[in-house]
Structure 1
Amino acid sequence: MEKAYETYKDSGVEWIGDIPESWDSIKLKFLGYLYSGLSGKKGDDFRREDSEFNKHYIPFTNIANNFQIDSEKLDTVEIFENENQNDVKKNDLFFLMSSENYDDIGKTSVLKDELNNTYLNSFCKGFRLYNQEEVDASFLNYLLSGNIYRKTLSIEAKGFTRINLQMGKIENLPVIIPNSKQEQTQIAAYLDYHTQLIDTLISKKETLIQKLQEQRQAIINEAVTKGLNKNVALKDSGIEWLGEIPEHWEVKKLKYVVDCNKNTLADKYEEDFNINYIEIGNVSIDKGIEKTKVYKYSEAPSRAKRIVKTNDVIISTVRTYLKAITTITEEYNDYIASTGFAVLTATNITHHFLSLITQSDCFIDDIISKSVGVSYPAINASDIMNIPIPVPEADEQILIYQNVEKKVKNNFEAIGSIQTSIQKLKDYRQSLISEAVTGKIDVRDWQQPNS
């Protein structure tokens, strides 16, 4: 069991509370300075592979998804001639200043590698220490990643469709720090060791989930393209990505079996009318719908227009690679979805089979292949409606659904159990970081085990 420090004092910051006697509270701006990410890039007419202005840059996803910058996950961009001031340096910290969800805003990462001619994404700010002899960048990164700082930065963020964090909120952020850099480095080493153990375990569990998901997808793919009878005669569907289907099945464009965006929110409601809003970040093919928000009508995003009903299928038409696809359950009946979704209502097909076919790899891959754009690939709802799908007879559709549900039930339960376990590990990881970087535990005498 870890011990506490001998004596504590008031930090002078209400939300931080008491800190060890030998620690100080100081505003971040006195430890270093912020610098901006890329401000622009050359037009396509200038672009060529051997251009001297082709440089690496750190995408915002690298910061949002990694505690430490992964130097293998860099993109290439063509910069303006005068953008050398944005070169990143070893031990720089990076803040995600703009995001579509509050969970990511203010996230930090640290660069432990030396990268030459590498730049920062425009959604981010870099932070460079004035004196690396006095401040350990890894400790500071752990501190800013702790629960109290994550919550504080999230509260300071503003916006609806895109949430932004002002530079002043970062610069004036009070941070607590041991006077001794050796102590800072010791805390960082303690956390490096323990978080690596936790992350390794999480990674193994995530790999198991991936295998279970692949198993589930294989069951769905086989059922919606070949049916249940292994001996049934097959025919060429006429669709390259679909291949052969049972001889007695039909192929129909989606628009002949579903309605699209059937129910739309009226233009006028009472200002205090509450809207339960589903945005793209709330939806995934594996977890369904999570973390919806409630808005007053007068404050709701302009994209809050699509009324969804039980058994509707919603498909994201933007950033289609995210696979934001799910079937609406009774819990979300009459919720309002973003116009970034195509809302499909079964008409000449059972909602059971519609749910399965829209989860199949062949259907999703076709949507992604038809999407246009690089950063935000998108597809029109009309293009989705023209996608051909296999259509068995109604009775067979229901039998296929029931068979798949039976086979994947244990799969879903296993995935859910592992996801719960992963969340507990992540919560423990955050708790451990917060305890160490706020001085609740004293790790100055800790030694890394040999094994």
Structure 2
Amino acid sequence: MVKMKDSGIEWIGEIPETWEKVKFNAIYSNRNTKVSDREYAPLSVTKKGIVPQLATAAKTNDNDNRKLVKSGDFVINSRSDRRGSCGISSLDGSVSLINTVLEPKNSQMEPLYFDFLFHTIQFADEFYKWGHGIVDDLWTTNWNDMKNITLILPTRSEQQQIANFLDRKTTEIDELIDKINTEIDTLKQYQSSVITQAVTKGLDLNVPMKDSGIEWIGEIPETWEKVKFNAIYSNRNTKVSDREYAPLSVTKKGIVPQLATAAKTNDNDNRKLVKSGDFVINSRSDRRGSCGISSLDGSVSLINTVLEPKNIQMEPLYFDFLFHTIQFADEFYKWGHGIVDDLWTTNWNDMKNITLILPTRSEQQQIAELTEYKNSLIFEYVTGKKQVKEAN
């Protein structure tokens, strides 16, 4: 059993007793060499790491004003609206000036270990905490900000062990996720996707079923309940200012900090309050599928309906999947009204009588496990809370 100690680092917590703490500038130095992309191929800094420049990347005419990247460098986008875009580069090349490029000082550092560490949600939170700016989407963290962030430093052999273990395990998980995604893509031509099957029929195909009496649902497991929308959600219609509550965007991928591309208005004091756990949906049919369970407190424009869960035992991710199905979108807009399609709206008075299904809490939770397992696994091992030898 490895003896642990308090690291004294808020975002890390306990670490093995033999591990060291180091400042960022003790193991990395700022590489600020200006180059041309004619000499050094342009690279893109993405959430999946450093890759040859994507065809979709925004191009500029300032080809001679870029930063040099060498294989082994850590590169991170300094802006908060590119959160999580970073990685240890396996390529020589060049990146735009918005990125920070760091050269490792110690040849004994294991690149893959640090790649895992820097891709944790906890590091992203810490990185942006050290930043500065006027508004969220212009918030930046540069080298002068980040150089004093405290990191952890296992021995090289431990770094290697952790990197090898996580590389193997995350590859297995990614292959499983890819397989599921491939199945979902294949099944899109059918009426029900894999996700729809799970959230409306459950994971056990052998349980006794019953007719739900709900046209868009069909059969459900015998033990599942039916509920009206207003039995599990209440309308949150609290008006707030975006100076008190940060503006959020309601997108097809969920509720996120306001996008740089979002249409802005001068009506900053006439917005709706959103609390973490609320379900938010755009009521207009031309924003079909724009909804999600929010993980953030904030505010949204009045075109959105904000609903507060009445039961704390509801599993947010289950309902997030349910509300993102094509079948729910069809049902939601069926209850709306309007003169023409792009002004067709479904408000709370329309939707409160929509009938939903309610599995047991344990069945709801099973759907969320795979993605959460992957994220927690990486953090536990790169911070030493779990050791590789215990997992074999």
TM-score bracket relative to the smaller structure: 0.5 to 0.7
Aligned to 2:146: 170
Q: Does the 8 A contact of 2:31 with 2:68 survive in 1?
A: no
Count matched residues: 284
> 1:97: Cα distance to partner?
1.2
Instruction: Choose from 43, 48, 57 the match for 1:58.
Output: 43
- Relative to structure 1, is the Cα distance of residues 306 and 185 closer, same or farther in structure 2, using a 3 angstrom cutoff? same
Matched, 1:110 2:78: no
> 1:31: Cα distance to partner?
0.4
Aligned to 1:283: 251
The CA distance in 2 between the partners of 1:88 and 1:99, in whole Å, is 21
Alignment of 1:64-213 (within 5 A): 64=47, 66=48, 68-71=49-52, 73=54, 83=65, 86-100=67-81, 104-112=82-90, 114-115=91-92, 118-132=93-107, 134-158=108-132, 159-178=135-154, 180-213=155-188
Which structure shows the higher helix fraction?
1
Aligned to 2:106, the other structure's residue is in SS state coil
List alignment gaps of at least 5 residues for structure 2.
193-238, 259-263, 273-279, 304-335, 346-353
The CA distance in 1 between the partners of 2:388 and 2:187, in whole Å, is 39
Aligned-pair Cα RMSD in Å:
4.8
Q: Percent identity?
A: 20
Structure index of larger Rg: 1
The CA distance in 2 between the partners of 1:436 and 1:168, in whole Å, is 29
The CA distance in 2 between the partners of 1:290 and 1:271, in whole Å, is 18
Aligned to 1:202, the other structure's residue is in SS state helix
Matched, 1:24 2:2: no
The CA distance in 2 between the partners of 1:187 and 1:130, in whole Å, is 21
- Relative to structure 1, is the Cα distance of residues 123 and 327 closer, same or farther in structure 2, using a 3 angstrom cutoff? same
Q: After superposition, what is the alpha-carbon deviation per residue over 1:109-163, rounded to whole angstroms, capped at 9, x for unaligned? A: 1223x34xx211333212210122x211211121222343233224344533433
Aligned to 2:222: none
More relative contact order, 1 or 2 (CA 8 Å, 6+ apart): 1
The CA distance in 2 between the partners of 1:142 and 1:311, in whole Å, is 36
The CA distance in 1 between the partners of 2:85 and 2:54, in whole Å, is 17
Aligned to 1:313: 284
> 1:445: Cα distance to partner?
8.0
Amino acid at match of 1:194: K
Structure 2 length as normaliser, TM-score? Answer: 0.56
The CA distance in 1 between the partners of 2:338 and 2:61, in whole Å, is 51
Q: Does the 8 A contact of 1:33 with 1:127 survive in 2?
A: yes
Aligned to 2:386: 441
The CA distance in 2 between the partners of 1:18 and 1:12, in whole Å, is 8
List alignment gaps of at least 5 residues for structure 1.
42-51, 218-268, 294-299, 316-323, 339-344, 356-404
Aligned to 1:94, the other structure's residue is in SS state strand
The CA distance in 2 between the partners of 1:347 and 1:110, in whole Å, is 52
Aligned to 2:157, the other structure's residue is in SS state helix
The CA distance in 2 between the partners of 1:89 and 1:425, in whole Å, is 35
Q: After superposition, what is the alpha-carbon deviation per residue over 1:330-381, rounded to whole angstroms, capped at 9, x for unaligned? A: x9xx94179xxxxxx9753257x958xxxxxxxxxxxxxxxxxxxxxxxxxx
Aligned to 1:193, the other structure's residue is in SS state helix
Alignment of 1:234-253 (within 5 A): none
Aligned to 1:164, the other structure's residue is in SS state coil
Structure 1 length as normaliser, TM-score? Answer: 0.50
Instruction: Choose from 317, 341, 348 the match for 2:339.
Output: 348
- Relative to structure 1, is the Cα distance of residues 99 and 12 closer, same or farther in structure 2, using a 3 angstrom cutoff? closer
Amino acid at match of 2:98: F
The CA distance in 1 between the partners of 2:364 and 2:65, in whole Å, is 46
Farther-moved stretch of structure 1 (149-158 vs 189-198) = 149-158
Aligned to 2:306: none
Amino acid at match of 2:157: Q
Farther-moved stretch of structure 1 (306-315 vs 90-99) = 306-315
- Relative to structure 1, is the Cα distance of residues 303 and 156 closer, same or farther in structure 2, using a 3 angstrom cutoff? farther
> 1:166: Cα distance to partner?
3.3
The CA distance in 1 between the partners of 2:86 and 2:32, in whole Å, is 14
The CA distance in 1 between the partners of 2:301 and 2:116, in whole Å, is 38
Aligned to 1:59, the other structure's residue is in SS state strand
The CA distance in 1 between the partners of 2:19 and 2:282, in whole Å, is 57
- Relative to structure 1, is the Cα distance of residues 83 and 122 closer, same or farther in structure 2, using a 3 angstrom cutoff? closer
Q: Does the 8 A contact of 1:91 with 1:110 survive in 2?
A: yes
Aligned to 2:144, the other structure's residue is in SS state helix
Q: Does the 8 A contact of 1:277 with 1:304 survive in 2?
A: no
Aligned to 2:100, the other structure's residue is in SS state strand
